[in-house]
């Protein structure tokens, strides 16, 4: 009797990506701190977009643009697809994304609250909450990815007049 595999292509080899399986979502990332931060940023940005759409449509472009940028980063991180672009400094890009979003949402939120509309005031409140989430995300990126850390038993010291750091072993008592 013919099975389903006899009538079509042979089964894929173990670990070989087939079709869209290369875009498989890493569920452990989605439940990690970085995944939860990105999901929170995405949800709050969408809420702010809805608030701006209901009140001041001039500011909704900033929220929509940030929504798509966060969605792209969430997709790239959740599928581990960013590892294929190894020439990009992803922690630096992520940090710059957070800092630029902080500036944009601070300006837009304070500009929107001057209209005294109910939806604009809600957008201001959610904007301040979103700015704090972006600030925490930027702080975590800076602390874990961007600051060079000395491993135990090593000290970062500069030699001579140059500003380059070299690792010098230090004996601990």
- Work out the angle between the directed axes of helices 60-78 and 90-112 (0-180°, nearest 10): 160
Whether the pLDDT of residue 153 is over 80: the answer is: no
Residue 26: per-residue pLDDT: 79
Residues whose CB falls within 8 Å of the CB of residue 132, separated by 6 or more in sequence, listed in order: none
Partnered with residue 156 across adjacent β-strands are: 167
- Rounded to whole angstroms, the Cα distance separating 63 from 143 reads 27
Q: What integer pLDDT is reported at residue 105 of this predicted model?
A: 93
Confidence of residue 83 (pLDDT cuts 50, 70, 90): confident
**Residue 27: pLDDT above 70?**
yes
Q: What is the percent of the chain where pLDDT is above 70? A: 72
Supply the pLDDT for residue 10: 52
Rounded to the nearest 10 degrees, what angle do helices 90-112 and 118-141 cross at? 160
**Would you say residue 71 has pLDDT above 90?**
yes
Position 173 confidence tier, pLDDT thresholds 50, 70, 90: low
For residue 163, pLDDT beyond 80: no
What pLDDT sits at residue 137?
94
* Residue in the structure block whose two tokens are 């944009």: 104
Strands in 80-164 per DSSP E:
154-158
* Alpha-carbon gap, residue 5 to 7, rounded angstroms: 6
- Give Cα separations from 35 to 25, 31, 111 (angstroms): 12, 6, 30
């Amino acid at each position: 009797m013919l099975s389903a595999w006899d009538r079509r292509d042979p089964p894929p080899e173990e670990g070989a990506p087939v079709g869209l399986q290369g875009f498989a979502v890493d569920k452990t990332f989605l439940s990690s701190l970085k995944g939860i931060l990105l999901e929170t940023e995405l949800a709050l940005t969408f809420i702010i977009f809805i608030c701006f759409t209901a009140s001041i449509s001039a500011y909704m472009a900033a929220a929509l643009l940030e929504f798509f940028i966060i969605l792209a980063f969430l997709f790239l991180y959740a599928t581990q697809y960013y590892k294929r672009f190894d020439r990009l400094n992803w922690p630096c890009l992520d940090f710059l994304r957070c800092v630029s979003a902080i500036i944009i949402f601070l300006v837009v939120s304070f500009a929107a609250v001057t209209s005294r509309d109910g939806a604009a005031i809600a957008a201001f409140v959610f904007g301040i909450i979103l700015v704090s989430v972006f600030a925490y995300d930027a702080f975590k990126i800076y602390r874990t990815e961007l600051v060079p850390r000395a491993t135990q038993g090593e000290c970062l010291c500069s030699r001579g007049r140059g500003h380059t750091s070299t690792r010098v072993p230090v004996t601990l008592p």
